[in-house]
Each structure stands twice: as C-alpha cells, then as structure tokens.
Amino acid sequence: MYRPSREVILAAIVLVATVGLGGLFVGDADPAPPEPVPFDETVSVGLTLENEQQLDENVTLPRAQAFYSQYQYVVGYYGVETFVDAQRQDGHEQRFGYPLAVYVSDYGATSVELNEKGYPVTDRQPPWIDATDAWFVVGSEARTPSGETVVSFADRADATAFATTHGGEVYSWDETLEQSFDTDDVTGVRDRVSEQDRRADATVESTQARTDRPVSTVVGADADAVRDRIDEDPANVTVVDTVQAGIDAAPANTTVLVSEGTYEETLEIDRPITLVGDGTPTISGDGNGSVVTVTEPRVGIRDLEITGVGPVTSGAEDVPGPAIDDDAWDEKFLTYYTGADAGISAHVAAGLSVENVTIETPSNGIILRESPDTVVRNATVRGNERWQDGFAGIMAFRSPGVVEETTIVDGRDAIYAYRSEGIVIRENTIEESLLGIHLMHTDGTLLENNRMNDVVDTGIYVMTGPERNAIVGNEIRGSQVGAYVGGSDTYVAENVLEANDVGLELAASGSIYERNVVAGNQVGVNDRVILPTNRVVENDFVGNDDHATAGAGPLRVWTHDGRGNYWQGATSIADGDPPSRSYSPTDTVDGRLHRTDGAATLARAPALDALSGFEASVSGMQTGSITDTEPACEPNNPDLLERTEYADRATACDGSLTIEP
C-alpha cells in the first residue's frame, strides 16, 4: 500500500488549510457498495482459530464482515455482538473510519437448529445479507464458545419463528446496535484473576490431605529406628529394604516413608499412596526410562531427590496406563512426547501432589498426561545444559492444575502446557532454558509473579490462537524476547520486561496491556497485530533503544478514556501538564526524543507539530504507526519501575527526576 512521505503530507496540510478537510477525499458521489467476500479472506476478530474449538462439522457460528472508510482490509467478526461491541470502543472510528457496508449471516436460508451447547447447526453455509436489511434475534438460547450470540435473518417471519422456539427478541439493525451483550471478553479475564488465585489455593489445599496419611511402611537400612520415632503403633508398620517393595506393601491412602540413603531403583506407583522422604533420600534410576511412574489418581510425592533419568525426550510409541486411540493425530502427538523419559512421569493420575522434590534430568523433569488438578510445589528441576538435547522441566498435556514456587534451570522448555485449559503457573523461578513458559492450544491460564532470567529465546511464549489468558506480575530479563503473546482476549498487566532484545511481541488481539514496565530493551514493544483492537494504557517505557515498533496495519491509538502511557523523553515543560501534544514512538523524530539531542526542538517545530495532529486524525496516513494522544508526565508504575536499573532515567514534564536514585 502506498504511504506518502512527510514532505507530501506537509503539502497536504497546506491544502487542507486552504480548501478544508473535506476537499482531501474525492470520489464518486454515490459509489456502489462493496460486495461481500469469503470469510476466510477477511482479517477476523472475536474467535481465534475456529478449528481449534473442536466444534462439530455442522456447527455454523454467526458471522459479520465490515468494510471501513479508512481501513484497507475487510474485517470479519465472529458474531454480530462482536461487531457491536467493537463500534463502542474508544477511538474505533479514529482507527477504522465509518462502516461503508456490513454483511451478516442469513440463517433464514438454512434449516437452523441449536445443539445441546446452544451452537447453531445448519445444513449449509448461510449466505451473506446486508445488515441494514436483516432482522436479528437477541437474547435467545443461541451461544458460541464466547457466550451469547445474535442470530440474523433476511426475513422477519423467519426471525420471529426462531425466537418463538429458542427465545429472544426480534430487532432491526439500528435497534441491535443499541443492545449490550454478555460475552466472555478480556474484561472478564481481568476480573477473574483474583478468583483464579482462590481456586488455585483450593486446589493446593485439596492435595494437602496427602500429607496426613498414616505411615504403613518404612524403607531402608535405618527403617527400624525411623519406625520407633513415628506416631504409628510399630506393630502396624511394615519394614522393607526397597522402595518398590514398600509401595507394593502399602494399603491405599497410607504413607511409605523412605529413610536417608540412595536407592538405585525405578518405581511404579499404581495405588493412591504418599511417598515421603525422611530427610532427603535419593531415588536413582539406571539412566534408562523414567524413574518414578504414576498411574493412579491421588498420589503424593514429597521430600525426595531423583536422578538417573533416561535421555529420551520424544519419539515414544506407547504410554503407561489406559489404552488410547492411536488413530487420532492428537493422541499420536501426545504419545510421542508424554511417553518420553522423566524424573516423574504421571499418566491419568488426577490430583497428583509433588512437593519439595529435586530432579536432575537430561530429558524431562515432570511429565503430566491426562492428570488434572495436579499440584507441583516447591520443586527444583535441573535440566540439560545443552537445551538441544533436553526437553521440558515440567510438561503438562491435558493436565490443568497448579505449578508454584518451583525453580527450573536449563533445558529446552521450562514449563510446557498443551491443551491444559485453566492451568495456573505462579511464583516460579526460571533460568537459562531456551523457552520459559510455553503455552500451546491452552486457554484460560493464569501466569502470575514468575521470575525469568537469561532465558535464551522467549520468556513467556503464548501461541496457537489461545483465548482469555492472564499474564500478570511477571519479571523477565535477558531474553531475545521477553514475552510473545498470541491469541485473543488476553490480559497482560503489571509485568516488568527489562534488558531483552524485544520486551514484548504484541500479537494478541482484543486484549488489554496495562500497567507494565518496559525498560532497557532494544525494542520495548513490537506490535504485530493487523487489527488495532487492543487497549494499551498506563504502561511505562524507559531506557529502550526503540520504545515501540509496529508492523503492517493502520494507526494504533494507545490511549483509552483519556489515559495514555509514560514515554521517557516524550514530554517537556513546553507541552504542559497534562501534555497537550501527542507522541508517536514510531515517528522518525518522536522516536528519537529520549536518545538524540536536539530531537525535542525539531519535534515541536510548528510544521511537524501540525503534522502530528493531522496524522493522528487520519488512520490511513500512519500505516504501521502508533500514537499516544495523552502521554503521561510521570511514570504510572513507580514501584515496578524501581525494580529496574532504569528508574533514574524517568523524568517529569518539567525535567525533574520522578524517582530519586
């Protein structure tokens, strides 16, 4: 797409001053409306990766598509309600312009019914109809994976018949634009963070019952001495020489107590017991396979050191536990990785508790397959120093639970989660792995208060179109990329991204990025999203070579409800308090304000100052650009900024230091 030079735009400003803004856009008095396009040719928003929702093939979700006056792409919306909510966003018309045409699905041309989840089921793909000619059923039983949805019809009689069967009211287009909808968007993600913490606390608490199981078996050379000092009647406690013998002898819901020493064994736990070290005994495998394999729910493992793990990181053809469908690709993928070697390998073992365990491994530390409500707490995993030869510190496949207060060093992926919706990963320390926390096809997670230092590639890597994740309070330093956040409806707040090549790769749409500190990076934030649907506000950018860069797309306005971000160097006493001048980190002059003497004088020259206002008002004039119309005079997050080495670079509009060294 042609982008005019600054000289050409300056000439345009002169033209505008002469003939008025209306003279800048010349076209047909009554141009023909654009025709609808196939939905897969639109830039879509709402539901990311529809095929990842594992919907039945005959489910046809409602859609809309819009052509905008100042936007070069056709925007596809999963649901009329998504379109309506988008129109109400602060600055939406500034970024997109006004809709030239909107088309919606016509369910009147299908035999639409609702399945047990409320998803529309049809015998064919609905055709498109102009939204202004359609009738809409609002408040019915119809649903999508994101919540309630609107079902549209060309004929009012068809809409009325659907409402009679499935509830709701029939509205015209103008009436529908006035409605509000109950959908699970990013504001709900933000509001649920505290509740997710409470649920995680409850999950941790539920596994503490494993610590109260009575001792039934004592293992080791000092077993007699150990038996004599425990609370249980010695006559009810069995003494054995090997750990596996102790497991085999223990009744369900009892504890096997392992006395100090090194036990050269590989173990299988196939009953609900707790395996506990008296002190920190070592279970040492033979370097071939997993050391501890768990195939039963409600097992506890505590106070042990595990070594002698096999080197196999992937490639397994079968896994322990119940048989799975090997014909399904997803199951083959799961087997390939979860059948590998690990210090602890859990298969269909819900409610597993691993606490105060240290694992040294050339491959994997802990593998969890189909093991929900697992808690890994206060563990230490030391992986392969050559990440090319290792894999995961903790790998969770379809195993939502809690990982907290754990330290993982080296290896490839410190924590890897695959289809583990709702997993909570908090208060962990990760160092020198290739990837820190790596999410694939995993929604609804809480990544909170983790510390990552010198992770080689990416500290937090959220990929494959996930939805409704929360990334809060993390500190990431010394990576190529601090955090890569993909998907949609993601809440990213109160994180410190310091001294990375790129602090944040902003790739999630429909998301909120607020109250983060981005300091000392080569690039603070790289905005990769084509659709400007994100709210980026009250963040602090200090000491970055480039505060922010942007790829293809229209103007991104990083201001919401009169609030902007703090940009080191963006404001001066000449701008007032609050500043009267917008700031664009992608502008060739503004982007140098914090690192080039004289840039401030040039940026505030009358011609360039007028240009900034013009560009901010016309999205097409700033393709691939970012503008903050309300830059802050002082940092929004001084307490977080003080945790970095760049706090002394933050100055107020009057040039004074905002944080004393």
More confident residue, 578 or 8: 578
More confident residue, 95 or 558: 558
What's the mean pLDDT when you consider all of the chain? 87
pLDDT value for 88: 81
Residue 366 has pLDDT above 80, yes or no: yes
The Cα–Cα gap between 196 and 643 comes to: 26
The Cα–Cα gap between 460 and 488 comes to: 15
pLDDT value for 475: 98
pLDDT value for 463: 93
Question: Which residue matches tokens 């401030």?
Answer: 600
| pLDDT band per the 50, 70, 90 thresholds, residue 620 | very low
Residue 657 has pLDDT above 80, yes or no: no
Residue 24 has pLDDT above 70, yes or no: no
Instruction: Burial-class residue 316 by CB neighbours within 10 Å (0-12, 13-18, 19+).
Output: middle
pLDDT value for 618: 52
Asked whether the beta carbons of 69 and 554 are under 8 A apart, the reply is: no
The Cα–Cα gap between 125 and 545 comes to: 50
| pLDDT band per the 50, 70, 90 thresholds, residue 601 | low
pLDDT value for 212: 86
**Alpha helix positions (H), 1-153:** 6-19, 80-87, 92-96
Q: What average pLDDT does this structure show over 239-263? A: 96
How does pLDDT run across 524-565, given as a tens digit for each residue?
999 998 878 899 999 999 999 999 999 877 778 899 989 999
Asked whether the beta carbons of 71 and 97 are under 8 A apart, the reply is: yes
Angle between helices 6-19 and 606-617 (to 10 degrees): 80
Asked whether the beta carbons of 518 and 493 are under 8 A apart, the reply is: no
From residue 569, alpha-carbon distances to 238, 457, 519, 596, 614 in Å are 72, 29, 13, 10, 22
The Cα–Cα gap between 646 and 178 comes to: 47
Dig out the tokens for 454 from the structure: 């010198």
- Nearest Cα neighbor of 425 from 410, 454, 397, 445 is 445
- Which contiguous run of DSSP H or E holds residue 133? none
Q: What average pLDDT does this structure show over 127-133? A: 96
DSSP secondary structure, 48-103, as one string: S-GGGG---TTB----EEEEETT-SSPEEESSHHHHHHHHTSTTHHHHH--EEEEE
| pLDDT band per the 50, 70, 90 thresholds, residue 611 | low
How does pLDDT run across 143-202, given as a tens digit for each residue?
988 788 999 999 999 999 999 999 999 999 999 999 988 766 788 899 999 999 999 999
More confident residue, 47 or 599: 47
The Cα–Cα gap between 265 and 287 comes to: 10
Question: Could you write out the three-class secondary structure of 210-241?
Answer: HHHCCEEEEECCCHHHHHHCCCCCHHHCEEEC
How does pLDDT run across 407-464, given as a tens digit for each residue?
999 999 999 999 999 999 999 999 999 999 999 999 999 999 999 999 999 999 999 8
DSSP type of residue 657 = B
Asked whether the beta carbons of 480 and 459 are under 8 A apart, the reply is: no
pLDDT value for 3: 32
656: number of Cβ within 10 Å: 9
pLDDT value for 348: 95
Dig out the tokens for 374 from the structure: 């697992």
| pLDDT band per the 50, 70, 90 thresholds, residue 215 | very high
Q: What average pLDDT does this structure show over 237-259? A: 96
| pLDDT band per the 50, 70, 90 thresholds, residue 8 | very low
Rounded to the nearest 5 degrees, what angle is found at the Cα of 613, between the Cα atoms of 516 and 619? 75
Asked whether the beta carbons of 366 and 374 are under 8 A apart, the reply is: no
Residue 223 has pLDDT above 70, yes or no: yes
Residue 250 has pLDDT above 90, yes or no: yes
DSSP secondary structure, 179-211, as one string: ----B--HHHHHHTHHHHHHHHHHHHHHHGGGG
Question: Which residue matches tokens 């499935």?
Answer: 166
Asked whether the beta carbons of 586 and 550 are under 8 A apart, the reply is: yes
Dig out the tokens for 436 from the structure: 């820190």
pLDDT value for 222: 81
Residue 578: is the preceding peptide bond cis (ω within 30°)? Answer: yes
54: number of Cβ within 10 Å: 9
Dig out the tokens for 486 from the structure: 């993909």
Question: Which residue matches tokens 């392969």?
Answer: 384
The Cα–Cα gap between 41 and 528 comes to: 19
The Cα–Cα gap between 435 and 455 comes to: 6
DSSP type of residue 477 = E
The Cα–Cα gap between 617 and 93 comes to: 10
- Nearest Cα neighbor of 558 from 452, 632, 501 is 632
How does pLDDT run across 256-302, given as a tens digit for each residue?
999 999 999 999 999 999 999 998 999 999 999 999 999 999 999 99
pLDDT value for 132: 96
pLDDT value for 330: 75
pLDDT value for 610: 59
DSSP type of residue 579 = T
Q: What average pLDDT does this structure show over 625-647? A: 94
Residue 91 has pLDDT above 80, yes or no: no
The Cα–Cα gap between 642 and 659 comes to: 8
- Tell me what percent of the residues of the chain surpass a pLDDT of 70: 88
Asked whether the beta carbons of 489 and 445 are under 8 A apart, the reply is: no
Strands annotated E in 128-182: 128-130, 135-138, 143-144, 147-148, 151-153, 169-171
Dig out the tokens for 292 from the structure: 């501890």
Q: What average pLDDT does this structure show over 236-240? A: 90
pTM of this structure: 0.84
Q: What average pLDDT does this structure show over 466-490? A: 95
Asked whether the beta carbons of 283 and 357 are under 8 A apart, the reply is: no
Residue 589 has pLDDT above 90, yes or no: no
Instruction: Burial-class residue 213 by CB neighbours within 10 Å (0-12, 13-18, 19+).
Output: buried
Question: Which residue matches tokens 């018949």?
Answer: 161
Instruction: Burial-class residue 427 by CB neighbours within 10 Å (0-12, 13-18, 19+).
Output: middle
From residue 371, alpha-carbon distances to 165, 304, 517, 624 in Å are 41, 21, 36, 44
Residue 614 has pLDDT above 90, yes or no: no
pLDDT value for 593: 84
